[in-house]
């Protein structure tokens, strides 16, 4: 199913991104551009992302390069929670 019409991002693209180590929605947006134009798909994209994350623990610890890239975002999420 296409989630984002503006950038042709599917639910499979989002699941694939999570499986490859994307564990922050903002990084998903950077990587795929999902929900970065009109924004109509934001809620659906977030729902698909959250479901994918529920089945995939954060891979940052296993990918040191990504851990550095995401460190600030993890800190922001931790303080927001
Ligand atoms: S449908 Fe996703 S940004 Fe427009």
Helix (H, G, I), strand (E, B) or coil at 24: coil
In this structure, the residue with its CA closest to atom 2 of ligand 1 is 4
Note the pLDDT tens digit of each residue in 14-48.
Answer: 999 999 999 999 999 999 999 999 999 999 999 99
Provide the pLDDT for residue 56.
73
Q: Which of 2, 6, 25, 43 to mutate to test the pocket of ligand 1 (most atoms within 8 A of CB)?
A: 6
C-alpha–C-alpha distance, residues 5 and 43, integer Å: 13
Residue 34 half-sphere exposure, CB side, CA atoms within 13 Å?
Answer: 28
Q: What is the CATH number of domain 2-80?
A: 1.10.10.1100
Predicted TM-score (pTM) of this structure: 0.73
On the question of pLDDT at 74 being above 90, the answer is: no
On the question of pLDDT at 63 being above 80, the answer is: no
Q: Could you identify the atom of ligand 1 that is nearest to the CA of residue 34?
A: 2
Provide the pLDDT for residue 55.
85
Average pLDDT over residues 1-16: 98
Percentages helix, strand, coil for the chain, rounded to the nearest 5?
A: 60, 5, 30
């Amino acid at each position: 199913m296409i989630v984002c019409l503006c950038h042709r991002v599917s639910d499979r693209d989002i699941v694939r991104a999570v499986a490859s180590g994307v564990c922050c929605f903002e990084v998903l947006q950077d990587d795929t551009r999902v929900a970065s134009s009109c924004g109509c798909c934001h809620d659906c994209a977030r729902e698909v992302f959250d479901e994918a994350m529920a089945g995939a623990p954060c891979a940052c610890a296993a990918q040191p390069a990504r851990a550095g890239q995401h460190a600030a975002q993890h800190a922001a999420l931790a303080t927001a929670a």
